[in-house]
Structure 1
Amino acid sequence: MPPGTPTPGRHYALLLFADFGHVAPTLGVARELIARGHRVTYVVDERFAPLVEDCGARAVTYTSARGAFYRTGDPSPDRLARDGYDLLVDTVRTVFPAARDGLAADPPDAVLYDFETVAAGRVTARVLDAVPVQVCPSHAANETFSLRAQLWDPGHPLMAEGASVLIDFMGQHGIGLEEMGRYGAEWDERNLVFLPRAFQIEGDSFDDRFAFVGPTFTEPRPGLWSPPADGCRVALVSLGTESGDRGGFFRLCAEAFPASEWQVVMTLGRDTDPAALGPLPAHVEAHSWLPHPAVLPHADVFVCHAGMGSLMESLAYGTPVVALPHAHELVLSARRLEERGVGRNLPRAGLTARGLADTVAGLLADPATPPALSRMREAVREAGGAARAADLLEAWAARSPAVEAAG
């Protein structure tokens, strides 16, 4: 079957970590699949149900016990291990039963899952005879590069407890010790990666098991935001959808960009009231949330936390980034910006308005920045986005046990 040939009636299920940054990168793919006549179901934390239903998908909901995982700045190794263990337990005790029961009446042809839902996703695919597909909203892992090794201490006592949870869970579903290595690997035989290969750490080491399709976001509707009429430069500032304000960060950014030269657009987080910042200078506007693609075509710089969704949106429009990562793989992504010449990595600790202003000025004055941005923007465009992802999923779903048995 040629790529892009629709096969009406296929069913795709997604089991994703309860975080906007994990759900949002898949929505463009879901829209594309639905437009081709397929069905899409998300097994998702209840607070994301409106988001997925808005794109035409069905939501099977549960209440996540995620807690503060990925929200706490600079967590200790003990805190990170505890949060990771609690998340693993939640995926096998809550997410998997929700998926098994919610999908049983209409079994999917493919099950998509991510780094944090590996156990639930792979076992769901096995139980329901579906093709497992790992999706990567951030850097993928293979035999050369391990994201897991960057995050977890293998000697921590909770790692052994987590292994015991996995062994028990898989054993309950007929997966013996001889198979557990495959079920516990950091990657699958089919992997969709929502960044271009050029941005992936050790990108040249990844083989054809990995499809680097780049970002899949859709253009926002017109009229959400308009650039300043006076032609001032625009700085977009965000710490992501859930990070919120920390230590007066947003007020510091307001000081870093002088009113005579800049219009500053801040997105504070979906649960943050702009009034909480207090009075702001006239050249600063604060929003609880605003789709970044509404602003990025007009922005001269994007100051952000180095979340991969934010980075991919920025690089798709050729906007340079000043990244202030706070934890986890965000630090790796911020370093990657510098390696590719498209941004600067600025430590959050000890940050001052003058330090931020000087970093922005240096980035914009660097003659190597525009060509580097142009190369990365082209890499994003050539990756294929939602259309290529849907082509691949159609081809992979055609090999599912259920489809092959039917015909």
Structure 2
Amino acid sequence: MTGTSRGGPQGRPLHLAFLPYPAFGHMVPVLPVVAELVARGHRVTCFATEEFMDRVRATGAQARLYEPPLSSDPPPDVIDADESARAPLKLLEASTAVLPSIEACFADDLPDAVAYDTTLWLTGRLLAARWGRPSVQLSPTFISNEHFNLSEQHQDYAGQIDPAHPAIVAFTQRLKEIVAGSGLREEQQAELFYGHEEFTVAFVPREFQFAGATFDEHQVFVGPTTQAATPDGGSAWQPPADGRPVVLVSLGTTVNNHPDFFRQCVEAFAGLPWHTVLALGKRVSPEELGPLPPHVEAHPWVPLAEVLPHTSVLLCQSGMGSILEALRAAVPMVVVPHHPEQHVNARRLTELGLARVVRREDASVETLRNAVLEVAGDTALRERVREMSRHVRSAGGAGAAADAIEQRLYARPLEEA
């Protein structure tokens, strides 16, 4: 295969392979970037599961199915050290199982570059190395360097993983087998493990990233890429006609199977001069909550972009998507983290003074009510949220991500395969 150099930002249109992870928290920030690249004249082939096919096609990209399908099932309700030790092996097997179908797709039409989700790190790097193509890593959350390690932060909440855990031993052995059988040169195999100087697009603003100032030109922080959309498309929403302040309650797309939590929220805010909006998700129905007071409304999904501008406080599970949408709208938060990654997010919110954290085991009617009222009345916190909102809005979003990808790829010639 002969390398082809590219001259600059006005270079020829590219053919890009996108490998996002097929879960809402990963797909939502990536698809606007795909749409932007297509609008600029590039050809994008984007893999997903059946659930996201229509969304991928709407960007103008060619939609292809992961075969076998990658799971987008929500994680277990409790993630401890044992579950954290078992997860990497499961993901390794699933993410490498799709390799043959991806390679078959591009057998006669190699892409110019591979853009891959961090959870598909081995798949993306291996394909790029085999094809002699540059790659771009896509991260929907915090990224790591020598000053901040996301995996170590997770273990602060899930518990320390025993290196001798059978699943970790099996993961290490399986990883060595896959890399040794990859057909790559020895130095290329080493690069699969370490990804030195891998170029990463992170969908958080630098100011929100842990140790953000310590990252270099190999990382670009673009923040959220679009106004939030609900998983089923959403519908128009109107704020309360009587001007009551709004508290929006959402547990996102992964931990929304707790009807008791929503019932607690109904009780916590029903006696206040507030309007409560409950975004239940697809695993709790409004009927499960029973009769609701006049100033409480419950929906499977609500359009965040329409509700947040009228919201005084967001009560959420501390998922990154919810956090960034709230910060963009300058809405302070009360967060009730469930999983380790949400605890890490909550830690950053606490460090920056942008939210109040309520431990899941402490979430009662009284604590939720008090936390929301404290946040609503904290003028210093609200000013810090407004300042972070300015950073989120100026990070650049999908346009900045597309710029960075183009600059990265036009600046690098194709390698010799």
TM-score by length of 2: 0.89
Listed as ranges, the matches of 1:268-307 within 5 Å are 268-270=280-282, 272-307=284-319
The CA deviation at 1:50 is 2.1
Q: Which residue of 2 aligns with 1:394?
A: 406
Q: Tell me whether 1:361 sits opposite 2:364 in the alignment.
A: no
Shift of 1:332: 0.8
Equivalent in the alignment of 1:347: 359
What pairs with 1:175-186 in structure 2 (closer than 5 Å)? 175=184, 178-185=187-194
One-letter amino acid of the counterpart of residue 226, structure 2 = F
Q: How far apart are 1:391 and its partner, in Å?
A: 0.6
Distance 1:213 1:310, change over 3 A: same
| Change beyond 3 A, Cα 1:53–1:276 | farther
Shift of 1:8: 5.6
> Are the counterparts in 2 of residues 6 and 394 from structure 1 also a CA contact under 8 Å?
no
1:133 aligns with 2:136: yes
Describe the shift of the 1:223–1:116 C-alpha distance in structure 2 as closer, same or farther (beyond 3 A). closer
**Structure 1 Cα separation of the partners of residues 83 and 7 of structure 2:** 48
Whether 1:248 and 2:253 are equivalent positions in the alignment is no
**8 Å contact 1:238–1:266 — kept in the other structure?**
yes
The match for 1:38 is 42
CA contact (8 A) 1:191 1:211 kept: yes
* Distance in 1, Cα, partners of 2:100 & 2:412: 22
Q: Distance in 2 between matches of 1:283 and 1:57?
A: 43
Distance 2:276 2:126 in 1: 47
- Shift of the alpha carbon at 1:267? 1.5
Question: Over aligned residues, Cα RMSD in angstroms?
Answer: 2.5
Which segments of 5 or more consecutive residues in structure 1 lack a partner in the other structure? none
- Inter-partner Cα distance in structure 1 for 2:153 and 2:169: 18
Change (3 A) 1:208 1:67: closer
Report the equivalent of 1:215. Answer: 224
TM (norm. structure 1) is: 0.91
Identity of aligned residues (%): 37
Aligned length: 401
3-state SS of paired residue (2:239)? coil
- SS where residue 126 of structure 1 aligns? helix
Measure how far apart 1:291 and its partner are. Answer: 2.7
Structure 1 equivalent of residue 275 of structure 2: 263
Structure 1 residue 111, shift from structure 2 partner: 1.3
Q: Which runs of 4+ in 1 moved over 6 A?
A: none
CA gap 1:151/1:315 in 2 versus in 1, 3 angstroms: same
Please state if 1:201 is matched with 2:210. Answer: yes
- Find out whether 1:52 has 2:56 as its counterpart: yes
Instruction: Give a deviation string over 1:53-92, Cα, whole Å, max 9, x none.
Output: 2222222113435375x52222222222223311111101
Q: Residues 235 and 301 of structure 1 are in contact (CA less than 8 Å); yes or no, is this contact kept in structure 2?
A: yes
Alignment-derived partner of residue 393 in structure 2: 381
User: How far is 1:296 from its partner?
Assistant: 0.7
* 1:284-321 Cα distance to aligned partner (Å, 9 max, x none): 21221223112111111111111111111110110011
1:26 — aligned with what? 30
* Conservation of the 8 A alpha-carbon contact between 2:86 and 2:168: no
Q: Which residue of 2 aligns with 1:113?
A: 116
Distance in 2 between the 1:76 and 1:24 partners?
27
Post-superposition Cα deviations, 1:341-392, rounded to whole Å, max 9, x if no partner, equal 1111111113111101111111122221122012101111221111111111
- Structure 2 unaligned blocks of 5 or more: 1-5, 156-160
